[in-house]
């Protein structure tokens, strides 16, 4: 009968006020009930509380190493991420609602002014008002400055287009599809995680090399 342990590490996890990282903090474990409970409690590394907020790297090889040491007869299968970023904080950050809403208001104001300026400069560069006046003359046979019969439907269509594109209206999503902002935020978070992993991997390799050189000299 094959003896298997399946682990599914996540890409990132946050821990608050902890002294060590165990397997259950960074990965899901599937195995026999008694084995699974023991694996979940296995220590992967200690946390330096004196360092304050810090990032730690837990590789799937670290997980496999501690499991194989306790259960050498088992085969450990990884079905998740290769590396996990552990974001440690000595205490839970307090949520300042006033500061939060001020940030939201500031960002909303900047976005509104920026998007409004972009739309106006685009219309100016393309001379859209003159285009509308030309349309009015073609269809109605006379000239008119700022023809509202064209300006108003265009403005409504522009607003509807923005709402449909961003898939949000009055704080609610129109469809279940992710919004462009959610997609960009997900891409940004992925790139940040990959950068953090690269930095932590480099530091880990440097420490390993330094330790190997020290052991070789001794």
At the top level of CATH, the class of 4-89 is mainly beta
Separation in Å, CA 170 to CA 85, 110, 153, 180:
35, 18, 21, 16
- pLDDT surpasses 70 at 20: yes
Predicted local confidence at residue 5, as pLDDT: 92
Rounded distance, CA 29 to CA 71, Å? 14
pLDDT tens for each residue of 131-182: 888 988 888 888 888 888 888 998 899 888 888 887 777 777 777 778 788 8
43: number of Cβ within 10 Å: 11
List, in order, residues 6 or more apart from 94 with CB less than 8 Å away. none
Domain boundaries, given as residue ranges, for the chain: 4-89, 97-191
- pLDDT surpasses 60 at 116: yes
């Amino acid at each position: 009968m094959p003896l298997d342990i399946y682990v599914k590490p996540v890409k990132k996890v946050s821990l608050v006020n902890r002294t060590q990282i165990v397997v259950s903090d960074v990965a899901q474990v599937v195995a026999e009930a008694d084995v699974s409970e023991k694996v979940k409690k296995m220590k992967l590394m200690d946390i330096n509380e004196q360092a304050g907020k810090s990032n730690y790297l837990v590789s799937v090889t670290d997980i496999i190493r501690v499991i194989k040491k306790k259960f050498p007869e088992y085969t450990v299968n990884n079905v998740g991420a290769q590396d996990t970023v552990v974001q440690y904080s000595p205490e839970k950050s307090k949520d300042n609602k006033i500061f939060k809403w001020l940030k939201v208001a500031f960002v909303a104001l900047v976005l509104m002014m920026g998007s409004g300026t972009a739309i106006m400069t685009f219309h100016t560069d393309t001379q859209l008002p003159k285009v509308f006046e030309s349309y009015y003359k073609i269809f109605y046979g006379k000239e008119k400055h700022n023809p509202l019969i064209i300006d108003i439907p265009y403005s409504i269509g522009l607003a509807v287009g923005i709402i449909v594109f961003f898939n949000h209206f009055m704080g609610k999503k129109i469809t279940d599809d992710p919004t462009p902002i959610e997609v960009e935020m997900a891409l940004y978070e992925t790139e940040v995680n990959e950068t953090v992993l690269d930095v932590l991997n480099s530091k880990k390799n440097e420490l390993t090399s330094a330790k190997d050189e020290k052991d070789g000299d001794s």
